[in-house]
Structure 1
Amino acid sequence: MSRFPLVAALTALAAAGAVLVLAERFYRELEVRLAGAILDVITTSGVYVAGDREAVYFGLGGTTPFGLRMTPECSSAFLLLPLLVVSMAMVYFRPSNARRIFFSLGISALVVVLVNQLRILTIVGLVHWFGTDEGYYWGHTLLGSMVSVFGGAVSLVLFVWLSTRKKKA
């Protein structure tokens, strides 16, 4: 890879990281809207998304409505940053693999976003099954965190595997 495409690739990755950090509130709003859309499809109890507050409310048709607010530490935005940093290092040291690295980054980023949605759905399901106090505790503090950690690890392993595997001859 000549110098210009390498600089362009590294700049694009750095810019994506900067945009994630600077626009993380907007990104959280998008995540909440996606969660609301998924919940609207899979539940019948009523869903409302307050995007400007990064919150999704569910169970509106029942006796115990509940709302989740997406805080910065609950967003997948900061789980994407390590993937971007690793991508930058890999592109820098192996510029000939840039296309494969960008493909791997795209797949792994999608997995991170989907895992975070699964985490939200886990919280919603446990709140529905066990009630607000116990369900939120188990869904957010314990099981939700495990989903995030496991999903982040799977995403990172997937990224490394996809970006470094050898082509079949």
Structure 2
Amino acid sequence: MTKFPLVVALGALAAAGAVVVLTERFYRELEVRLAGAILNVITTSGVYVAPDRESVYFGLSGATPFGLRMTPECSSAFLLLPLLVVTMAMLYFRPANAKRLFFSLGISAVVVVLVNQLRILTIVGLVHWLGPDEGYYWGHTLLGSMVSVFGGAVSLVLFVWLATRKPKAVA
């Protein structure tokens, strides 16, 4: 990769990071909408999404309806930033791997988003199973955090593996 395309690619990655930071509220609204869509498919207890409050409510037809509000620290938006930074660093030192790096970034970003949805579903499942107080406590504090940490680590390892693996030799 020559100097100009490298500068453009690095600038695009930096701009993507800035966009994630500057539009994180809109991003959280999208995450809440996705969570609501998934919950509508897997549950029959009633789901309501309030994107302007970054909230999803579930269990509406039961005795204990519950709502989750997506705060900035619970969003996957900021989990994408390390992937962007690592991509920039690797691209700077190995610009010839640009295609592979962008592919790796795309796959890893999807994994981060799906892991955060799994975290939300874990909280919902535990609230249904253990009740609102205990279910939220265990789902948000312990298991939800474990899902996020483990999933974030998996996405970084996946990124590095995809970005650095050697292409198969063609016989």
Q: Same fold (TM over 0.5)?
A: yes
Partner residue in 1 for 2:103 = 103
Partner residue in 2 for 1:112 = 112
The residue type equivalent to 2:28 in the other structure is R
Partner residue in 2 for 1:158 = 158
Once residues 22 and 49 of structure 2 are traced to their aligned partners in structure 1, the CA distance between those partners, rounded to angstroms, is: 23
Partner residue in 2 for 1:15 = 15
Partner residue in 2 for 1:149 = 149
The residue type equivalent to 2:61 in the other structure is G
Once residues 93 and 69 of structure 1 are traced to their aligned partners in structure 2, the CA distance between those partners, rounded to angstroms, is: 40
TM alignment of 1:60-139, pairs within 5 A: 60-139=60-139
Q: Deviations over 1:102-159 (max 9, x none)?
A: 0000000000000000000000000000000000000000000000000000000000
Once residues 136 and 109 of structure 1 are traced to their aligned partners in structure 2, the CA distance between those partners, rounded to angstroms, is: 26
Equivalent pairs: percent with the same residue?
Answer: 88
Once residues 9 and 38 of structure 1 are traced to their aligned partners in structure 2, the CA distance between those partners, rounded to angstroms, is: 34
Once residues 51 and 4 of structure 1 are traced to their aligned partners in structure 2, the CA distance between those partners, rounded to angstroms, is: 40
Q: Which ranges of structure 2 fall in alignment gaps of 5 or more residues?
A: none
Partner residue in 2 for 1:27 = 27
TM-score in terms of structure 1 length: 0.99
Q: Detail structure 1 runs of 4+ shifted over 3 Å in the superposition.
A: none
Partner residue in 1 for 2:44 = 44
Once residues 151 and 92 of structure 2 are traced to their aligned partners in structure 1, the CA distance between those partners, rounded to angstroms, is: 26
Once residues 113 and 139 of structure 1 are traced to their aligned partners in structure 2, the CA distance between those partners, rounded to angstroms, is: 18
Once residues 133 and 64 of structure 2 are traced to their aligned partners in structure 1, the CA distance between those partners, rounded to angstroms, is: 11
Give the 3-state SS of the residue equivalent to 2:12 in structure 1.
Answer: helix
| RMSD across aligned positions (CA) | 0.4
Once residues 14 and 111 of structure 2 are traced to their aligned partners in structure 1, the CA distance between those partners, rounded to angstroms, is: 20
TM-score in terms of structure 2 length: 0.98
Q: Deviations over 1:61-111 (max 9, x none)?
A: 001000000000000000000000000000000000000000000000000
The residue type equivalent to 1:54 in the other structure is E
Once residues 98 and 140 of structure 1 are traced to their aligned partners in structure 2, the CA distance between those partners, rounded to angstroms, is: 37
Give the 3-state SS of the residue equivalent to 1:67 in structure 2.
Answer: strand
The residue type equivalent to 2:151 in the other structure is G
